[in-house]
A and B are shown apart, each in its own frame.
Chain A
Amino acid sequence: MATSKLQALWNHPAGPKTIHFWAPTFKWGISIANIADFQKPPENISYLQQIAVTCTGMIWCRCSTIITPKNWNLFSVNVAMAATGIYQLTRKIKYDYVSEAEAAVEIEG
C-alpha cells in the first residue's frame, strides 16, 4: 500500500522526476527570502518588487490550476508569495505614510 502510493507519487506527471515539481519547490525560496527580510528595516523594501511578488502570487494561484499538469505545489507557493508580499508592502506603507502622520500629530501636540 505505502509502496504503491510512493510509486504513484514518484511517477506523477508533476512529480519529482519533472521540472513541474522542482521549479515550484525552489520558488519557495522567494517567500523564504521575503520572510528573512522581515527582520530588515522597511526602508530597503522595493515597492515595485513587492507589488510584483504579490500580483504574481495572486494570478499564479489561478494559473496553477489550469495548466497541464495541474500543479498544487505551484498553487501553494503562490499563496505564500502573495501573503509575504502583502505583509512586506504593509510594512513599507506603514513606514512611509503612517510615520509621517504620527510625526505630524507630534508636531501639533
Chain B
Amino acid sequence: MATSRFQAFLNSPIGPKTTHFWGPIANWGFVAAGLVDMQKPPEMISGNMSSAMCVYSALFMRFAWMVQPRNYLLLACHASNETVQLYQLSRWARAQGYLSSKKEEEKPSQ
C-alpha cells in the first residue's frame, strides 16, 4: 500500500520527475526567505520587493489553479507567500511611518 502510493507519487504527471514539482519547491524559497527576514529589523525590508511579491502571489494563486496540469503545490506556496509578504509589507510600512497617523492623533489628545 505505502509502496504503491509512493510509486504513484513518483510517477505522477506533477511528481518529482517533472519541473511541475521543482518549480513550486523553488518558490517555497520565497516563503522561507520571508520567514527568516521576519527576524531582521524592518529597515532591512525592501518595500519594492515586498509590494511586488504581494501582487505576484495574488495573481499566481489564480494562475496555479488555471494552468494544466493544475498545481496545488504552487497554489499552497503562493497562498503562504502572500501571507508572509503582507506581514513584511506591514512591518516596512510601519517602520516608514505610513501607519503612524493614529499615533499622531493620539498625542494631542493625551
Instruction: Tell me if B63 counts as interface (CB < 8 A to partner A).
Output: yes
A107 at the interface (CB under 8 A from B): no
Contact B66 A19 (CB under 8 A): yes
B29 contacts the other chain (CB 8 A): yes
Name A's interface SS: helix
Minimum Cβ distance to chain A for residue B39 (Å): 11
Q: Is B30 an interface residue (CB 8 A)?
A: yes
Q: Give the size category of B's interface with A.
A: 20 to 34
- Shortest CB-to-CB span from B21 to chain A, Å, is 10
A residues whose Cβ falls under 8 Å from a Cβ of B: 18-20, 22-24, 26-27, 29-30, 32-34, 36-37, 40, 44, 46, 48-49, 51-53, 55-56, 58-60, 62-63, 66-69
25 contacts across the A-B interface (CB closer than 8 A): A23-B60, A26-B55, A26-B56, A27-B59, A27-B60, A29-B52, A29-B56, A30-B49, A32-B52, A33-B49, A33-B52, A37-B48, A37-B49, A40-B46, A46-B46, A49-B33, A49-B34, A51-B29, A51-B33, A52-B33, A60-B23, A67-B68, A67-B69, A68-B68, A69-B68
